[in-house]
Amino acid sequence: MRLHIGAVILILLGVIFLLINLDVAPAVEIRKLLAQWWPLLLIVVGVTVMLRPRRAR
């Protein structure tokens, strides 16, 4: 099963914005969480790209 990282990121962003709009999660807390953990997102994306099988040309 191939991971579609772009689709996963869009879904996660949609969930975050939905939670904020429904007042389930305060925007301030989510901003602090994202500000602290954004490097981990870059690492996950990089590892995913690195481990993806290359296409034969």
Is residue 56 in some structural domain? Answer: no
Task: Encode pLDDT of 4-52 as tens digits.
Answer: 777 787 888 888 888 888 888 888 887 888 788 888 877 877 787 788 7
Burial class of residue 21 (count of CB atoms within 10 Å of its CB; 0-12, 13-18, 19+): exposed
Q: At what angle do helices 5-21 and 27-51 cross, to 10 degrees?
A: 170
* Residue 56 pLDDT > 70: no
Is residue 57 in some structural domain? Answer: no
How remote is the C-alpha of 2 from its chain's centroid? 16
**Total of domains in the chain:** 1
| Distance of alpha carbon 49 from alpha carbon 2, whole angstroms | 11
Tell me the one-letter amino acid at 40.
L
pTM of the model: 0.54
Is residue 33 in some structural domain? Answer: yes
Residue 41 structural domain: 5-51
